Amino acid sequence: MALAFSAESSRKIAEILPRYPNKQAALLQVLHVAQGQFGHVGADVQELVAETLELPPAHVWGVVTFYTMYHRESVGKNVLMVCTNISCMLRGAEDILGHVEKKLGVKPGETTADGMFTLVEEECLAACADAPMMICGDKYFMRLDTGKVDTALDELRKHPRSEH
Protein backbone atom coordinates (compact mmCIF):
# COMPACT_ATOMS: atom_id res chain seq x y z
CA MET A 1 0.00 0.00 0.00
CA ALA A 2 1.44 3.35 -1.04
CA LEU A 3 1.94 6.02 1.59
CA ALA A 4 -0.72 8.74 1.45
CA PHE A 5 -1.87 11.73 3.43
CA SER A 6 -5.04 11.25 5.45
CA ALA A 7 -8.13 13.26 4.56
CA GLU A 8 -7.40 15.56 7.53
CA SER A 9 -3.78 16.15 6.49
CA SER A 10 -4.85 16.73 2.88
CA ARG A 11 -7.36 19.33 4.11
CA LYS A 12 -4.65 21.08 6.17
CA ILE A 13 -2.30 21.14 3.18
CA ALA A 14 -5.05 22.55 0.97
CA GLU A 15 -5.52 25.36 3.53
CA ILE A 16 -1.76 26.03 3.73
CA LEU A 17 -0.95 26.27 0.02
CA PRO A 18 -2.90 29.47 -0.81
CA ARG A 19 -1.03 31.36 1.92
CA TYR A 20 2.27 31.05 0.04
CA PRO A 21 3.46 32.41 -3.31
CA ASN A 22 4.39 28.91 -4.52
CA LYS A 23 4.45 25.31 -3.34
CA GLN A 24 8.13 25.40 -2.41
CA ALA A 25 7.48 28.24 0.04
CA ALA A 26 4.93 26.04 1.84
CA LEU A 27 7.43 23.21 2.40
CA LEU A 28 8.15 23.84 6.10
CA GLN A 29 4.46 23.90 6.98
CA VAL A 30 3.67 20.82 4.90
CA LEU A 31 6.54 18.97 6.61
CA HIS A 32 4.94 19.82 9.96
CA VAL A 33 1.65 18.37 8.74
CA ALA A 34 3.44 15.24 7.52
CA GLN A 35 5.33 14.81 10.79
CA GLY A 36 2.07 15.29 12.69
CA GLN A 37 0.45 12.46 10.77
CA PHE A 38 3.32 10.00 10.50
CA GLY A 39 5.33 10.90 13.62
CA HIS A 40 8.49 11.45 11.58
CA VAL A 41 9.59 12.45 8.08
CA GLY A 42 11.63 9.47 6.95
CA ALA A 43 12.56 8.87 3.32
CA ASP A 44 9.09 7.58 2.37
CA VAL A 45 7.36 10.59 3.93
CA GLN A 46 9.85 12.97 2.28
CA GLU A 47 9.03 11.36 -1.06
CA LEU A 48 5.30 11.89 -0.45
CA VAL A 49 5.88 15.55 0.46
CA ALA A 50 8.06 16.07 -2.63
CA GLU A 51 5.40 14.52 -4.84
CA THR A 52 2.61 16.54 -3.20
CA LEU A 53 4.47 19.83 -3.66
CA GLU A 54 5.98 18.90 -7.03
CA LEU A 55 9.50 19.42 -5.68
CA PRO A 56 12.69 17.44 -6.22
CA PRO A 57 13.10 14.87 -3.43
CA ALA A 58 16.64 16.17 -2.87
CA HIS A 59 15.26 19.61 -1.99
CA VAL A 60 12.92 18.13 0.62
CA TRP A 61 15.76 16.01 2.01
CA GLY A 62 17.98 19.10 2.26
CA VAL A 63 15.36 20.95 4.31
CA VAL A 64 14.63 17.96 6.57
CA THR A 65 18.31 17.41 7.31
CA PHE A 66 18.96 21.12 7.94
CA TYR A 67 16.28 21.70 10.58
CA THR A 68 16.40 19.79 13.86
CA MET A 69 12.63 20.10 14.33
CA TYR A 70 12.05 17.39 11.73
CA HIS A 71 12.65 13.81 12.81
CA ARG A 72 13.78 11.29 10.22
CA GLU A 73 13.03 8.38 12.54
CA SER A 74 10.29 7.65 15.04
CA VAL A 75 10.68 9.53 18.31
CA GLY A 76 9.35 9.20 21.82
CA LYS A 77 6.21 10.85 23.14
CA ASN A 78 8.44 13.57 24.60
CA VAL A 79 11.25 14.99 22.48
CA LEU A 80 13.48 16.52 25.13
CA MET A 81 15.97 19.09 23.79
CA VAL A 82 18.79 20.13 26.10
CA CYS A 83 20.69 23.25 25.10
CA THR A 84 24.48 22.96 25.20
CA ASN A 85 25.43 26.26 23.59
CA ILE A 86 27.92 28.55 25.32
CA SER A 87 25.51 30.35 27.69
CA CYS A 88 23.98 27.12 28.90
CA MET A 89 27.36 25.37 29.03
CA LEU A 90 28.84 28.13 31.20
CA ARG A 91 25.95 27.71 33.63
CA GLY A 92 26.09 23.91 33.95
CA ALA A 93 24.44 22.41 30.86
CA GLU A 94 27.01 19.61 30.76
CA ASP A 95 25.92 18.48 34.23
CA ILE A 96 22.26 18.86 33.29
CA LEU A 97 22.69 16.78 30.13
CA GLY A 98 24.60 14.14 32.10
CA HIS A 99 21.85 14.03 34.71
CA VAL A 100 19.15 13.61 32.04
CA GLU A 101 21.20 10.84 30.38
CA LYS A 102 21.56 9.03 33.70
CA LYS A 103 17.88 9.44 34.65
CA LEU A 104 16.62 8.24 31.27
CA GLY A 105 19.34 5.72 30.49
CA VAL A 106 19.90 7.12 26.99
CA LYS A 107 22.40 9.30 25.14
CA PRO A 108 21.48 12.16 22.78
CA GLY A 109 19.79 10.80 19.67
CA GLU A 110 18.33 7.81 21.52
CA THR A 111 14.82 6.97 22.69
CA THR A 112 13.99 5.31 25.99
CA ALA A 113 12.89 1.68 25.88
CA ASP A 114 9.37 2.65 26.94
CA GLY A 115 9.11 5.15 24.05
CA MET A 116 8.45 8.00 26.46
CA PHE A 117 11.51 10.19 25.76
CA THR A 118 13.85 10.98 22.90
CA LEU A 119 16.86 13.00 24.01
CA VAL A 120 18.35 15.65 21.73
CA GLU A 121 21.42 17.76 22.40
CA GLU A 122 20.55 21.08 20.82
CA GLU A 123 23.00 23.79 19.78
CA CYS A 124 20.85 26.75 20.82
CA LEU A 125 17.28 27.14 22.01
CA ALA A 126 17.32 30.95 22.26
CA ALA A 127 16.78 31.33 26.00
CA CYS A 128 20.33 32.26 26.99
CA ALA A 129 19.28 34.55 29.83
CA ASP A 130 17.63 31.61 31.58
CA ALA A 131 20.40 29.05 31.13
CA PRO A 132 20.73 26.16 31.53
CA MET A 133 17.53 25.13 29.85
CA MET A 134 15.68 22.49 27.87
CA ILE A 135 12.41 22.32 26.00
CA CYS A 136 9.84 19.67 25.25
CA GLY A 137 7.11 20.50 22.77
CA ASP A 138 6.06 24.03 23.64
CA LYS A 139 7.20 23.83 27.28
CA TYR A 140 10.42 25.57 28.36
CA PHE A 141 12.28 24.42 31.46
CA MET A 142 14.70 27.15 32.50
CA ARG A 143 17.37 27.89 35.10
CA LEU A 144 17.71 24.16 35.59
CA ASP A 145 19.33 22.23 38.37
CA THR A 146 19.04 18.47 38.92
CA GLY A 147 15.97 18.88 41.12
CA LYS A 148 14.15 20.88 38.46
CA VAL A 149 15.13 18.27 35.86
CA ASP A 150 13.64 15.50 38.00
CA THR A 151 10.42 17.48 38.46
CA ALA A 152 10.23 18.19 34.72
CA LEU A 153 10.73 14.52 33.80
CA ASP A 154 8.01 13.48 36.27
CA GLU A 155 5.64 16.08 34.80
CA LEU A 156 6.38 14.94 31.25
CA ARG A 157 5.77 11.29 32.10
CA LYS A 158 2.31 12.23 33.34
CA HIS A 159 1.53 14.74 30.57
CA PRO A 160 3.55 14.23 27.35
CA ARG A 161 4.21 17.51 25.53
CA SER A 162 5.78 16.77 22.16
CA GLU A 163 4.07 17.52 18.94
CA HIS A 164 5.50 15.31 16.26
Q: Average pLDDT for residues 34-46, to the nearest whole number?
A: 94
How confident is the model over 116-137, as pLDDT tens digits? Answer: 999 999 888 889 999 999 999 8
pLDDT of residue 82: 95
Beta bridge partners of 140: 135
Answer whether residue 87 shows pLDDT above 80: yes
As to burial, measured by CB atoms within 10 angstroms (0-12 exposed, 13-18 middle, 19+ buried), residue 61 is middle
Q: State the pLDDT at residue 160.
A: 82
Q: Work out the pLDDT band at 38, boundaries 50, 70, 90.
A: very high
How many angstroms separate the CA atoms of 92 and 101, rounded? 14
CATH dotted code for 78-158: 3.40.30.10
Position 75, amino acid: V
Which residues does residue 82 pair with via DSSP β-bridges, in sequence order?
121, 134
Find all residues with CB under 8 Å of 7, minimum gap 6, and list them: none
Per-residue confidence at 138, pLDDT binned at 50, 70, 90?
A: confident
Q: What is the CA radius of gyration of the chain?
A: 17
Over residues 51-60, the mean pLDDT reads 97
**What's the CA gap between 162 and 54, in Å, rounded?**
29
**pTM exceeds 0.95:** no
How far apart are the C-alpha atoms of 120 and 151, rounded to whole Å?
19
pLDDT band at 111 (very low <50, low <70, confident <90, very high): very high
Residue 3's pLDDT is 92
* Residue 97 pLDDT: 97
> In this prediction, what percent of the chain has a pLDDT beyond 90?
82
Determine how β-strand 117-122 pairs with β-strand 78-83. parallel
- The pLDDT assigned to 163 comes to 54
Interacting residues of 49 by C-beta distance below 8 A, sequence separation 6+: 27, 30, 31, 34, 41, 55, 60
